[in-house]
């Protein structure tokens, strides 16, 4: 996110110069397409693999710069957050064996990164959203300390003009406000590239839009954020909302977001997308060393179109057209940006093969796709897939299909023919498309996570369950097992393992809290405590700050004294001097504090805001499991 060579201190005049360069680059691209200068004989595939770094407690580990130094490999680079890195794979010619080679390349780099991480007491995880990530890791302190990331954060905040709001509703509900773009850092993707012949680019791009929903549905792997079940692929909503620069309801109605699926079919030229993006989205990043693309063409030099590519990189279409140069030859490609990382490398390559097969097996109807598909059906399908994954129901050519029916009956045969057309052998096709079929019969990564999270939550807190899931992901990934072969997590073993590795209060605390405000009458407080068997009621003010606590024993005493329970506010009798712990307080320290003060509960705060509570029962459970 952000070009390494970008100018982070551009003034207004430099931005105008850059905008002119973007337009000249676009004119050069139009000329190159018309003159037949874009490569069409060879097709290539490529990929960008984003990776999560975790520590020995399976929590995000902020050491990406140290890890990159240890790796000393230019194919690895930084990402927005300190706990992420990115691997840029070498492009491969689309021919027999290319998917085997892609998997081999990814596995070799993955295990190289694992070895380097282990030297730093860290591990690498493949997942769309790391289950153990918390609000703490979305703070600005976790931004990779490079100027371009700070500049990008500053520019997007400036355009937004106020805090970023995140609202998502699934099984659970999440509504939070944030002062930076670090929500985007929760996302880790597996971005896939396919080179396209220029004459086929319009039809190919439209077809890529049409197939996005079913391809995403079978690949979903990001169902949880901050311990909450939301969408099957939360990344889709999270990315858009995390860098949303539109300020008002009116702007949201009339302006497109920078993260977009698009609003209609492309009908004339692929350059129409570039024109729309230049018209609708102003410049965020610039470059100081801009070439004159028109002059380079006149001199017989293939222009890199640096300005156009940089601007294109700050508009985040889920299917993005791209220009590049491979081995001296200019080419066009489509970048698939909606696929999540994981669950395993084989699963990722299977997703890639499925998508490439569909793209190369493109039916004739894609030439005038608007005669067969309504764009709003296709766009609606995409967001259905993000919400419900493989359990979605789609509208496909005006007919209703479940996601499984559509993939099994319509799309797998197209993908098979497409891969055959590219010369891919039957065993290679069977391996990767067979992987997709097995997921239809077993579960996707999202379904596996949700099923195990619900099962673990019967005995564990949300944070504990998230740790167990992350640990199980790692074990399965290290064994190279596709998600269709992942067994369910043993609850008893998970609980025992977790307790033996618990270090901090945040790993033990309960976060599903019921609180009251100081103005609430004691009678109301008493009833809530009875209904939910609460022994310690925490009291917050309207801003979410912890201001008091009252016990069930104290309420019994007040009732015996005969006070008017129905009109007396709890603030009159709550305990205002409260002992608290921070999230990173060690469990032994918290236990010792509770023993010294003879208290049976310890609220946990972060920046003076209540985030959880540890009780005597939590401590007894921890001690019992720790002692076997």
Residues 429 and 545 in one domain: no
Distance CA 38, CA 36 (A): 6
Residues 524 and 409 in one domain: no
**Greater model confidence, 516 or 249:** 516
The pLDDT mean for the chain works out to 92
Distance CA 245, CA 240 (A): 9
pLDDT of 627 higher than 80: no
Read out DSSP for 293-352? HHHHHHTT-----HHHHHHHTTSEESEEEEEEEETTEEEEEEEE--PBP-S-HHHHHHHH
- Range name among 421-435, 450-464, 493-507 with the lowest pLDDT average: 493-507
What pLDDT digit, counting tens, does each position of 335-384 carry?
Answer: 999 999 999 999 999 999 999 999 999 999 999 999 999 999 999 999 99
Please indicate, yes or no, if residue 430 is contained in any of the structural domains: yes
DSSP SS3 for 524: helix
- Range name among 113-122, 144-153, 456-465, 546-555 with the lowest pLDDT average: 456-465
Please indicate, yes or no, if residue 497 is contained in any of the structural domains: no
Please indicate, yes or no, if residue 347 is contained in any of the structural domains: yes
Residues 511 and 428 in one domain: no
Distances (CA, A) of 182 to 142, 242, 441, 506: 8, 7, 36, 21
Structure tokens that stand for 460 in this block: 């564990």
* CB neighbour burial string for 172-208, b if at least 16 within 10 angstroms, e if fewer: eebeeebebbbbbbbbbbbbbbbbbebebbbbbbbbb
Whole-model pTM?
0.86
CATH number for the domain spanning 215: value is 3.30.590
Q: Give the domain-ending residue among 420, 440, 460.
A: 440
pLDDT at 607: 79
Residues 255 and 399 in one domain: yes
Distance CA 462, CA 470 (A): 12
What pLDDT digit, counting tens, does each position of 103-142 carry?
Answer: 999 999 999 999 999 999 999 999 999 999 998 899 999 9
Confidence of residue 3 (pLDDT cuts 50, 70, 90): low
* Strand 259-260 versus strand 546-551 pairing type: unpaired
pLDDT at 152: 86
Average pLDDT score over residue span 95-100: 98
Q: Residues for the chain: how many in total?
A: 628
- Range name among 345-349, 476-480, 502-506 with the lowest pLDDT average: 502-506
Residues 337 and 422 in one domain: yes
Domain of residue 233, residue span: 12-44+127-440
pLDDT of 234 higher than 60: yes
Angle formed by the axes of helices 462-478 and 445-456, nearest 10°: 140
pLDDT at 24: 96
Please indicate, yes or no, if residue 545 is contained in any of the structural domains: yes
- Range name among 187-196, 325-334, 511-520 with the lowest pLDDT average: 511-520
Q: Give the domain-ending residue among 413, 440, 467.
A: 440
Percent of the chain having pLDDT more than 90? Answer: 74
- Which range, 17-26, 201-210, 538-547, 569-578, is most confident? 201-210
pLDDT at 2: 47
In 3D, which of 91, 53, 285 has the Cα closest to residue 185?
53
Dihedral sign for Cα 478, 119, 186, 507, please: positive
Distance CA 565, CA 555 (A): 9
Residues 229 and 338 in one domain: yes
pLDDT at 543: 83
Please indicate, yes or no, if residue 100 is contained in any of the structural domains: no
Please indicate, yes or no, if residue 362 is contained in any of the structural domains: yes
Confidence of residue 7 (pLDDT cuts 50, 70, 90): low
pLDDT of 385 higher than 60: yes
Residues 181 and 291 in one domain: yes
Please indicate, yes or no, if residue 298 is contained in any of the structural domains: yes
Q: Give the domain-ending residue among 386, 416, 440.
A: 440
Residues 527 and 392 in one domain: no
DSSP SS3 for 88: strand
Residues 254 and 401 in one domain: yes
What pLDDT digit, counting tens, does each position of 68-88 carry?
Answer: 999 999 999 999 999 999 999
pLDDT at 256: 73
CATH number for the domain spanning 580: value is 3.10.580.10
**Greater model confidence, 281 or 486:** 486
Residues 414 and 558 in one domain: no
Distance CA 273, CA 5 (A): 24
Question: Number of structural domains, the chain?
Answer: 2
pLDDT at 245: 57
Distance CA 415, CA 421 (A): 10
Please indicate, yes or no, if residue 113 is contained in any of the structural domains: no
Residues 207 and 336 in one domain: yes
Residues 418 and 517 in one domain: no
């Amino acid at each position: 996110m952000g070009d390494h060579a970008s100018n982070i201190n551009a003034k207004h005049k430099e931005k105008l110069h850059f905008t002119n360069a973007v337009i000249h680059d676009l004119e050069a691209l139009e000329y190159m397409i018309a003159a037949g200068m874009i490569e069409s004989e060879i097709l290539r595939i490529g990929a960008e693999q984003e990776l999560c770094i975790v520590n020995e407690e399976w929590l995000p580990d902020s050491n990406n710069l140290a890890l990159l130094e240890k790796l000393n490999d230019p194919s690895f680079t930084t990402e927005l957050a300190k706990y992420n890195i990115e691997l840029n794979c070498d492009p491969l010619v689309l021919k027999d064996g290319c998917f085997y080679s892609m998997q081999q390349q990814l596995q070799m780099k993955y295990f190289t990164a694992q070895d380097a991480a282990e030297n730093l007491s860290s591990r690498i995880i493949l997942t769309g959203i790391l289950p153990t990530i918390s609000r703490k890791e979305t703070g600005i302190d976790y931004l990779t300390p490079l100027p371009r990331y700070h500049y990008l954060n500053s520019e997007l905040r400036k355009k937004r003009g106020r805090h970023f709001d995140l609202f998502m509703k699934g099984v659970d509900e999440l509504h939070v406000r944030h002062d930076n773009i670090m929500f985007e850092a929760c996302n880790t993707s597996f971005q896939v590239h396919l080179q396209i012949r220029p004459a086929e680019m319009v039809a190919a791009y439209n077809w890529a839009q049409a197939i996005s929903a079913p391809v995403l549905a079978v690949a979903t792997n990001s169902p949880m954020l901050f311990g909450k079940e939301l969408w099957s692929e939360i990344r889709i909503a999270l990315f858009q909302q995390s860098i949303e620069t539109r300020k008002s309801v009116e702007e949201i109605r009339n302006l497109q977001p920078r993260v977009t699926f698009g609003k209609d079919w492309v009908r004339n030229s692929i350059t129409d997308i570039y024109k729309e993006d230049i018209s609708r989205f102003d410049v965020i990043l610039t470059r100081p060393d801009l070439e004159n693309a028109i002059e380079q063409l006149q001199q017989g030099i293939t222009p890199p179109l640096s300005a156009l590519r940089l601007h294109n990189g700050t508009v985040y279409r889920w299917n993005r057209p791209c220009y590049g140069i491979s081995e001296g030859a200019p080419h066009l490609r489509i970048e698939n940006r909606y696929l999540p990382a994981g669950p395993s490398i084989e699963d990722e390559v299977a997703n890639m093969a499925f998508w490439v097969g569909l793209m190369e097996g493109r039916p004739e109807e894609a030439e005038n796709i608007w005669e067969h598909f309504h764009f709003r059906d296709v766009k609606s399908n995409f967001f259905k897939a993000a919400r419900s994954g493989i359990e979605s129901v789609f509208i496909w050519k005006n007919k209703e299909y479940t996601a499984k029916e559509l993939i099994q009956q319509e799309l797998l045969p197209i993908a098979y023919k497409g891969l055959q057309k590219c010369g891919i052998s039957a065993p290679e096709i069977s391996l990767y498309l067979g992987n997709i079929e097995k997921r239809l019969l077993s579960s996707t990564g999202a379904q596996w996570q949700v099923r195990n999270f619900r099962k673990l939550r019967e005995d564990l807190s949300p944070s504990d369950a998230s740790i167990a899931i992350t640990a199980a992901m790692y074990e399965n990934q290290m064994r190279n097992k596709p998600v269709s072969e992942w067994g369910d997590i043993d609850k008893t073993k998970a609980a025992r393992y977790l307790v033996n590795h618990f270090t901090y209060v945040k790993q033990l605390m309960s976060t599903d809290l019921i609180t009251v405000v100081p103005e609430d009458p004691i009678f109301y407080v008493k009833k809530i405590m009875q209904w939910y068997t609460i022994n310690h009621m925490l009291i917050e003010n309207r801003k979410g700050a912890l201001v008091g606590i009252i016990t069930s024993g104290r309420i019994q005493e007040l009732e015996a004294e005969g006070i008017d329970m129905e009109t007396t506010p709890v603030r009159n009798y709550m305990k205002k001097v409260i002992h608290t712990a921070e999230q990173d307080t060690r469990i032994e320290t918290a236990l010792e504090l509770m023993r010294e003060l003879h208290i049976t509960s310890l609220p946990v705060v972060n920046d003076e805001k209540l985030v959880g509570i540890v009780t005597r029962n939590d401590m007894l459970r921890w001690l019992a499991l720790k002692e076997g």
